[in-house]
A and B are shown apart, each in its own frame.
With several copies, the nearest count.
Chain A
Amino acid sequence: MTFPMQSQHSSPDLIVHLGPLTLAHPVINASGTMEILELADVFGEDVLKSPPVGAYVPKTITLKPRQGNLPPRILETPAGMINAIGLSGGGLEAFVGGSLPRLLTLSCPLILSIGGFSPREYVELAAGLRQALQAGAGDGWTQRVGLELNVSCPNVHSGCLLIGADPGEIEGVVSAVRREWPGLLITKLTPNVTDIASIAAAAAGAGADAISAVNTFKGMVIDRRSLRPFLGNVTGGLSGPAIKPLALRAIFEIFARVEVPVIGMGGIRSAEDALDFLACGATVVAVGSAGFTDPWLTGRIASGLATSLSERGLTLRDVVGIAHRREA
């Protein structure tokens, strides 16, 4: 099995700090697009020993178990894909009892994504995870585990998307979770808004340590035979290279507005794409749908970044936000 050279993608040039977390390189996976325990089942345990990601982000965890939306749930679209999974998973208890202990053995930091259907649910999820980590992860766990608030899933019919589109709601959720969660707190934003930068500012103002953007763009597909909505859920979220220019614009605007670090994503499939996001202001980049094609893509992109930076004679630090500065 081809595996990115560990020596390259953990090269010191690529180390980034995201609050208390230290990442060997700035390329992580996007929530919901890489289940590393499933990869281990299919490809073998090696992936757990040397994960290709700078930090690992599991699928968004909900309070209760959820099946998600009815099929069909995905379809390829021009240069992208649409999905309407609708947050499926075993819920908090199953996660804490099942996956979490195994994930805590990973050599890279862990960023846990949570999604609630009310502000209260976010708080319960954060509190539940904090308790589990305090009990099972040993001292200093806040240096290895962060929390991402998914207030941006377009595929559930109540709750998080509505929160994600309103600065006031965002403030409420973020500040409530902030009181429960001592570690790195990230807020993941939806791009389906008029002004994403002001939502980012609201989240940062309420105590978010970092902003993650973008979640998917709300779209739909028509079934060619019936001329009815193709997806079981009618609408879904668009991702992949198709949305990259839109995501870059969002990162550019957020970086210009807030001081906290930005995790950028949307259509990344190469080191060049990753550079684009760094240039717009992302400190860390995430690979989503393109990782379906190649589960090791994050590692390959990290290697490519190292090469590209050294060819350009630039450091990571030089590049982050460079698109905001005039040419020398």
Chain B
Amino acid sequence: MPRYENRESGHECPGRGSRGKAVRVFGWVAGSERLGSLSWLTIHAPGFPAAGPGQFVLLQPEPPACFLPRAFSVAGQRGEEISFLISPVGPGTKQLTNLREHDPVWITGPLGNGFDMDTLLAPPMRRAVLVGGGVGAAPFPLLLDCLATSASGPDLDVLVLLGFRNSSQAEGGQPVRAAAARLAAGGASCRIEIATEDGSIGKARLVTDLLAAEQRQGDRLAVCGPQAMCEAVWQTAREASGLSCWFSLEANMACGVGSCHGCASLRADGSLALVCRDGPVFTGESLYGVGEQE
């Protein structure tokens, strides 16, 4: 049975209070599974604290193929077992997805702000919509598990929209499905829609097509995916009214903790934010502004 399946949603979401509690520990691979073109990697990390949804870690196998560690969203956590959804795009991610059980890995985290669950769930709460593109689905299993253990868990209305390149990449959506099933098992309403660009599942469409068809006033959106998708989601969401959007960004990182100032990202007002320290989660307004659509 795959590791992401059939587990109770046992994660205690720490809220945003995990600053000051990050660690750097030497862990090892507890499991690694291919999910189509993505991989589900689980690290046993002794003493690793509870991560919040949208928080990330730095991973570096020992011995490393790359000089710097790489950043990954925490996709799931069961105590000291932390899981990641990884897309093998370069040497760092390829080394990680080729690791075998017991291979040693340094892990630093949890890092960054993550999605602010209090704000996401603050009344008047209508519906949480999770929008993910490709490996951008990574933070959602943990986010769904946190919703399941939240006070309002059983009363929630949750919609998950995932876009993938093709059916092989879409296999990477399985841990999200599993977490959604756990949430629904607790009584919440939770639905998943999947779009593939090449139409290998359903007709060919983008995740923004799903969003345009589904979005309603008052939806709270948690978004993670490639930059172009994020911008398109923002454009789409602005056509409905009263939506709130939080985006989880990526940037090349070196330190992950605010030391190097390398992960700067331009905000709407022309200022620079550090993705690792000020993010990775930002509001749509701060990133893309409230000005007119071009």
Which A residues contact B (CB, under 8 angstroms)?
1-2, 32-35, 38-45, 59, 67-68, 70-76, 79-81, 83, 85, 88, 240-241, 289-296
Contact = CB atoms under 8 A, between A and B. Distances in A.
A36 to B, nearest CB: 9
> What is the interface of chain A mostly: helix, strand, loop, or mixed?
loop
A59 B21 CA distance: 24
Contacts of A240: 67
Given A44-B20, A291-B259, 12 more contacts: A38-B257, A41-B19, A43-B21, A70-B266, A71-B265, A72-B252, A81-B67, A81-B254, A85-B260, A85-B262, A88-B272, A289-B254
Interface in B252-275: 252-266, 271-272
Contact of B261 (A68, A81, A294): A68
Contacts of A1: 23-25, 47
A26 B114 CA distance: 38
Given A81-B67, A241-B67, A42 B257 contact: yes
A79 B23 CA distance: 25
Chain A to chain B: the 6 pairs with minimum beta-carbon distance, closest first: A74-B262, A38-B258, A292-B255, A292-B254, A35-B259, A42-B257
> What is the interface of chain B mostly: helix, strand, loop, or mixed?
loop
A28 B67 CA distance: 20
Nearest to B70: A76
A76 B24 contact: no
A272 to B, nearest CB: 12
* Interface residue range, chain B: 35 or more
B258 A35 contact: yes
Interface string B31-57: 000000000000000010000000000
Of the listed residues B58, B111, B264, the one surrounded by the most CB atoms of chain A closer than 10 A to its CB is B264
Nearest to A240: B67
Nearest to A36: B259
Contacts of B272: 67-68, 71, 88
A242 to B, nearest CB: 8
A240 B262 CA distance: 15
27 contacts: A1-B24, A2-B25, A34-B259, A35-B257, A39-B257, A40-B20, A43-B20, A43-B22, A44-B21, A44-B22, A67-B271, A71-B251, A71-B266, A74-B252, A74-B260, A76-B66, A79-B67, A88-B264, A289-B67, A289-B254, A290-B67, A291-B259, A292-B259, A293-B58, A293-B60, A293-B106, A294-B24
Given A41-B19, A71-B272, A33 B259 contact: yes
B216 interface: no
Contacts of B256: 292
Contacts of B21: 43-44
B22 A42 contact: yes
Of the listed residues A70, A291, A292, the one surrounded by the most CB atoms of chain B closer than 10 A to its CB is A292
B68 A81 contact: yes
A75 to B, nearest CB: 6
Contacts of A293: 58, 60, 67-69, 106
Of the listed residues B19, B21, B24, B106, the one surrounded by the most CB atoms of chain A closer than 10 A to its CB is B24
Contacts of A75: 252
Given A43-B23, A81-B68, A74 B263 contact: yes
B178 to A, nearest CB: 31
B247 interface: no
Contact of A72 (B69, B251, B277): B251
B246 interface: no
B92 to A, nearest CB: 8
A68 B264 contact: yes
Contact of B68 (A2, A35, A76, A85): A76
B26 interface: yes
B264 A71 contact: yes
Contacts of A67: 264, 271-272
Contacts of A292: 68-69, 254-256, 259-260
B253 to A, nearest CB: 8
A35 B263 CA distance: 14
Contacts of B265: 71
Contacts of B253: 74
A43 B48 CA distance: 12
B207 to A, nearest CB: 22
A273 to B, nearest CB: 13
Contacts of B69: 292-293
A73 B259 CA distance: 13
A38 B260 CA distance: 10
A38 B58 CA distance: 16
A44 B262 CA distance: 22
A38 B259 contact: yes
Of the listed residues B25, B26, B255, the one surrounded by the most CB atoms of chain A closer than 10 A to its CB is B255
Nearest to A83: B262
Given A33-B259, A33-B260, A80 B20 contact: no
A67 B251 CA distance: 17
A291 B69 CA distance: 11
A222 B252 CA distance: 15
A1 B262 CA distance: 25
Contacts of A296: 24
A80 B68 CA distance: 8
A290 B66 CA distance: 12
Contacts of B106: 293-294
